[in-house]
A and B are shown apart, each in its own frame.
Chain A
């Protein structure tokens, strides 16, 4: 197991290197706006652009730039500086991370509770009205785009433009450290909106898995032992049905920690997602590079974590 993890960690390093390289290459090879020109302001003189280009190191060959970037990153954990305003990328990312983590963690909690709850109820009452209604609703939830849901939610409930103005609307995010209550209320809508499609997907997935598992011979054995139906479903059934969901959950959470671009944009939450969006619009390579690396980092670690958890969840899985 230890050797397995060590080998996987080596892979993680390699993957992150590959991701950084590919992002770099894409930025250079594909047409994009000239960051120096963007920085220079309106109608800049060519000499100003040239001096900015020199200052940012953009006049050097890409491999020199990449080498310097990687050297700083590895030796000093330095992600470089934003082309746009000179702020250290590391600082930018760390200032944005709490918002993204708040959003992702709260939504994940919500969609797990709702998704798993609905999935279990639907699975133990297959083909009833309750089952059909919840699964139909889930299909709607999966199909509804998150930016549309976000706008609808704002239109309905936000305190400024809402029909029923009961919740703080867009642009109301307050860090947890500043005011926990405002932090909570400002995130209620984003959490719900972000959680809808996940909850819907998880409930359908769990319903499918659990219905299948409840037909297994070992469930009949559990019933033949005289266990209560609750224990049969929640201990014996859920134990098997939840395993694939753990895998997906790890990956979903990993992806979201790297920034929920649409939700953050609709609700104007200053998280990683909005940072990456803004940096792409401004061709701000160091920031793009930083957010991409962060996203990749979360995803590969979520993956590794899931694989390790899996060995504990399913005793038949053994890593050599």
Chain B
């Protein structure tokens, strides 16, 4: 069976006054129907721009897009704006990072939900309101019908994110893109929202791309994980493989910088040194080499390609280190 979404060699760059920003430089991945892909990376790694581009939301005169993104066999990158409009919010829906700013402050929750339904479904306002109330109930808001006439500012952050989720699920999308859905929330609420998303995904069978900088988030929900750095995927594997056997020094760095309760406190965290590179003039060769503890001469000259890791199917890494070298302690 062909995947629901198949992205091939996606490249996105923006012409800015400071130069050309290569936000995404050749990214490929598949999302199977009903499965979850986690895309992990620091801010500026191109993870958001990539998915916004698939949604057709980065089109502008100063944007250059190439590659293909086949959704159900149809290339989203070359689809007309009108075709994209009929897909957005219907077959592919999005949840954004900041629920405080992602809902319109001047419209009621009900109006915003009804609008989302009526764009794609030819139903009466009353029917749309019924559906909206049903959705709010689904995402765990009590007394959903009376909530319809509330404004976003009357809700807490967690409640607003629930509304965003309800809105995204309004038309039973086949693919849900969740861009940092828990980042702006309190830690206790984060877990609830993740659980809710996972639950609803099980119920509806929708596929999902979850974008995050937090490996802990994808560990809970993703089937497959792609780690991005400077606009490229540097490692891609099933969630189990990635956590059990991380190959790329960057992935290992990310894992080492997560605080863990079961680790001796005196060891301390091991942050990745340095800062994410400039996307206008990224370092030559492997973009991670200036921060990589294992970098050697070739790393600054040669761009590593994603290659299969011996012994595990579907685990691929873009690193010039010898396989045996990668897992050695630094």
Contacts and interface: CB of A to CB of B under 8 A. Distances in A.
Given A316-B151, A316-B153, A224 B103 contact: no
A217 B101 contact: yes
Given A240-B106, A315-B153, A225 B167 contact: yes
B98 A217 contact: yes
Contacts of A222: 104
B239 to A, nearest CB: 26
A245 B116 CA distance: 28
Interface residues of B, number: 29
Nearest to A313: B106
A300 B103 CA distance: 35
B104 to A, nearest CB: 4
A226 interface: yes
Nearest to A222: B104
Nearest to A223: B57
B85 A228 contact: yes
B8 interface: no
B55 A218 contact: no
Given A226-B120, A227-B85, A221 B106 contact: no
Interface stretch (B87-95, B226-234, B244-252, B269-277): B87-95
A8 interface: no
B98 A239 contact: no
Contact of B106 (A225, A227, A314): A314
A316 B115 CA distance: 21
B119 A218 contact: no
Contacts of A243: 106
A243 B107 CA distance: 13
Nearest to A229: B81
Contact of A240 (B89, B90, B96, B105): B105
A226 B89 contact: yes
Interface in B85-138: 85-90, 93-94, 96, 98, 101-108, 115-116, 119-120
Contacts of A225: 88-89, 115-116, 119, 167
A42 to B, nearest CB: 65
A292 to B, nearest CB: 38
Most chain A beta carbons < 10 A, residue from B106, B120, B167: B106
B106 to A, nearest CB: 5
B102 A226 contact: no
A239 B108 CA distance: 13
A220 B177 CA distance: 14
A282 interface: no
Contacts of B103: 218, 221
Given A314-B106, A315-B153, A316-B153, A224 B93 contact: yes
Given A226-B120, A314-B105, 5 more contacts: A217-B98, A228-B85, A239-B104, A240-B104, A315-B105
30 contacts: A216-B101, A217-B98, A218-B101, A218-B102, A218-B104, A220-B102, A221-B103, A221-B104, A221-B164, A223-B88, A224-B55, A224-B57, A224-B94, A224-B96, A225-B88, A225-B167, A226-B88, A226-B120, A227-B115, A227-B119, A228-B85, A236-B107, A239-B106, A240-B106, A313-B106, A314-B105, A314-B106, A315-B106, A316-B151, A316-B153
Interface of B: 55, 57, 81, 85-90, 93-94, 96, 98, 101-108, 115-116, 119-120, 151, 153, 164, 167
Q: 7 shortest A-B CB distances, which residue pairs?
A: A226-B89, A225-B89, A226-B88, A217-B101, A218-B104, A224-B94, A315-B151
Interface of A: 216-218, 220-229, 236, 239-240, 243, 313-316
